Amino acid sequence: MASYTFFHLLLLVLLFSSHEIEKRCSWGREMANHEEHDTYAVEMKSLTPATTCKGKAQKRGLTLAHRQGPCSPLAAHRQSRDSKGIFLRDQARVHSINILRQSRMLIAGNHGENARLPIRSSSPRASEFVVTIGLGTPKVDLTLIFDTGSDITWTQCKPCLGCYPQKDPLFEPSKSTTSSPCSASNCTYSIDYADGSHSNGYYVRDLLTLTPEYQFQDFIFGCSENNSHDFGATSGILGLGQGDKTLISRVEQKFSNIFCYCIPGSKNSNGYLLFGFDALSNCQTENITPLIIDQHEPSFYFVNLVGIALGNQKFSLSSESPPPKTIIDSGTTFTRLPPSIYNAVREEFDKYMSKYPRAKSPSTVWTLDTCYDLRGQENVNLPTVTLQFEKTNVTLDPSAIVWRVNDDDAQVCLAFKPNPKRPDQAIIGNAQQRNLNILFNIRDEEFHFGRGDCAN
Ligand SMILES: *[C@@H]1O[C@H](CO)[C@@H](O)[C@H](O)[C@H]1NC(C)=O
Ligand SMILES: *[C@@H]1O[C@H](CO)[C@@H](O)[C@H](O)[C@H]1NC(C)=O
Ligand SMILES: *[C@@H]1O[C@H](CO)[C@@H](O)[C@H](O)[C@H]1NC(C)=O
């Protein structure tokens, strides 16, 4: 108990001193400048992924990489951007969130507050980012899908009834000197994801090594022995939702229920994922808004998004009726807005882009519908986009506004989409979270945002 209090005192001191450092930092002034001007000039080149990984492995915390990019531990060499795959996975993710929230509402409605919900989760197969953790003794490195919307952490284990091919060797609990099997009746898990995929197995406790400083004994994770689908050569899922089998609820004391990540600004750079003290000391943030936790929907993190501004033009979400609930999700790529807001944003964006020729959306699967042909342009002027939250405003990174469709052609599209099936819901996707520090302080129910340091 004493050490716990001491730890929090340390955190406080650190928080305070990091605010002091920020005040003196020059990028604070740059941000202020962005707010005065209503456009950014973005180099076209910067919107194209390069052929090699420029990002160095992170010195602190875990390295967060795009799973298909040249920095991915899963890709031996650079693959060309599979935009189509990203679009399809993104749609599958949002579809799974839509139906999951729908079914939870029905269950809650039918059985009242105490209804025991089956373990279901939105589709982690759609998530684009991976991290590598260590499990057991001797430590085995496993590359897992990073997912703030998943309630369970699992990896495929040997022996396995129905495992899909993964890049890492299968984890063998019997070969780990620190593993202990769970021997109660609640030792098996079974999870049905909302995209129809399924995973089941048993729980094991073992040493989890995130970084040399962050090791957790007796971490409970799922040892998967039967999977219906392929989870893209990864070794499983790192679930950062709030369900009772996640990293968050399992090792909360150790890192005080705080984590922070930065989604890389391009596919050839690395992001980071930090926990606890490391997160507070390395993730600079200056904007705070409440994190809204809904006990009925533990796999989602909600935030009160009140509006979105393009340049000086503001569009209010809070005046919609009903005001949409907004999820911050690492597994969705493109931010979803209620259709009325999306249409207004798109019209305003088109005004800024009127000097460029409009381009047709390349095919129906892309589904980004506001595209421009930027052939011959070295730079593109984009409106600044600001997300307005309760108590704070966050200006997006220039790389978060448009999506360059192909590596070779010069077509860019507005990287937002409407969600006509759920006009009462918005989702902040990872394309818009790029190069921001996003710190989840679950204990104090706060989100912190700041300009991240994972652009290159
Ligand atoms: C099973 O239940 C026991 C007693 O409630 C608990 O201590 C243990 O953590 C549970 N195991 C799992 C894997 O949830
Ligand atoms: C394996 O998973 C399938 C669903 O994909 C399920 O029907 C089957 O019962 C599972 N088998 C075992 C042995 O758990
Ligand atoms: C955010 O922006 C809106 C619109 O410009 C403004 O009214 C509001 O005061 C800003 N909020 C903060 C906390 O700066």
pLDDT tens, position by position, 91-104 = 989 998 988 888 76
Tokens of 64: 């967060």
Tokens of 308: 């979105």
- Per-residue confidence at 206, pLDDT binned at 50, 70, 90? very high
- For the ranges 38-42, 261-265, 423-427, the maximum mean pLDDT occurs at 423-427
Among the bound ligands, name the one nearest to the CA of residue 201. Answer: 2
Better pLDDT: 433 or 256: 433
Among the bound ligands, name the one nearest to the CA of residue 183. Answer: 1
Tokens of 68: 């298909």
Specify the pTM: 0.86
* 239 dihedral zone (left: phi>0; alpha: psi -120 to 50; beta): beta
DSSP code for 74: T
The CA distance from 188 to 202, in Å, is 4
DSSP code for 266: S
User: How large a percentage of the chain has pLDDT more than 90?
Assistant: 45
Nearest CA to ligand 3 atom 3: 388
151 is a catalytic site residue: no
Instruction: Average the pLDDT over 56-66 and give the result.
Output: 79
Nearest CA to ligand 3 atom 11: 392
pLDDT at residue 5 is higher than 70: no
Better pLDDT: 70 or 11: 70
- Side chain identity at residue 244, one-letter code: D
The CA distance from 81 to 68, in Å, is 8
Q: Ligand 1 center to residue 45 CA distance, Å?
A: 52
pLDDT of residue 188: 87
pLDDT at residue 269 is higher than 60: yes
- Per-residue confidence at 57, pLDDT binned at 50, 70, 90? low
Q: Counting atoms of ligand 1 from 1, which one is nearest the CA of 186?
A: 1
Which of 90, 151, 206, 329 is labelled catalytic?
329
pLDDT of residue 28: 32
User: Collapsing DSSP states into helix, strand and coil, what is residue 294?
Assistant: coil
Among 89-103, 224-238, 303-317, which stretch is predicted with the lowest mean pLDDT?
A: 89-103
Q: Counting atoms of ligand 3 from 1, which one is nearest the CA of 391?
A: 13
Domains of the chain plus CATH, in order, are: 39-50+288-451 (2.40.70.10), 62-108+124-277 (2.40.70.10)
Per-residue burial over 125-151, b = 16 or more CB atoms within 10 Å of its CB, e = otherwise: bbbbbbbbbbbbeeebebbbbbbbbbb
pLDDT of residue 423: 92
pLDDT of residue 307: 97
Which residues, in sequence order, are bridge partners of residue 325? 425
Nearest CA to ligand 3 atom 7: 388
pLDDT of residue 59: 67
pLDDT at residue 322 is higher than 80: yes
Mean pLDDT, the chain, whole residue set: 82
**Residue ranges lining ligand 3, Cβ < 6 Å:** 314, 388, 391-393
Q: Ligand 2 center to residue 235 CA distance, Å?
A: 19
- Per-residue confidence at 17, pLDDT binned at 50, 70, 90? very low
Give me the helices (H) in 199-295, please: 247-250, 252-255, 276-282
Kindly state the helix (H) or strand (E) to which residue 116 belongs, with its residue range. Answer: none
HSE value, Cβ hemisphere, 13 Å, CA-based, for 66: 28
The CA distance from 216 to 239, in Å, is 16
Question: Of 48, 44, 46, 85, whose CA–CA distance to 408 is shortest?
Answer: 48
Better pLDDT: 349 or 3: 349
Which of 90, 147, 168, 206 is labelled catalytic?
147
pLDDT tens, position by position, 346-367 = 999 999 999 999 987 766 666 7
424 is a catalytic site residue: no
Express the helix, strand and coil content of the chain in percent, nearest 5 each: 25, 35, 40
pLDDT of residue 38: 84
Kindly state the helix (H) or strand (E) to which residue 95 belongs, with its residue range. Answer: helix 83-111
Which residues, in sequence order, are bridge partners of residue 386? 309, 395
User: Collapsing DSSP states into helix, strand and coil, what is residue 157?
Assistant: strand
pLDDT of residue 195: 82
The CA distance from 436 to 455, in Å, is 9
**Residue ranges lining ligand 1, Cβ < 6 Å:** 182, 184, 186-187, 203, 220
pLDDT of residue 26: 32
- Ligand 2 pocket: which of 198, 199, 202, 223 to mutate (most atoms within 8 A of CB): 198
Question: Of 147, 156, 143, whose CA–CA distance to 122 is shortest?
Answer: 147
pLDDT tens, position by position, 122-180 = 778 888 899 999 999 999 999 999 999 888 889 999 999 999 999 999 999 999 999 99
- Per-residue confidence at 70, pLDDT binned at 50, 70, 90? confident
- Cβ–ligand 2 contact at 226 (below 6 Å): yes
pLDDT at residue 410 is higher than 60: yes
Cβ atoms of 265 and 435 closer than 8 Å: yes
Among the bound ligands, name the one nearest to the CA of residue 390. Answer: 3
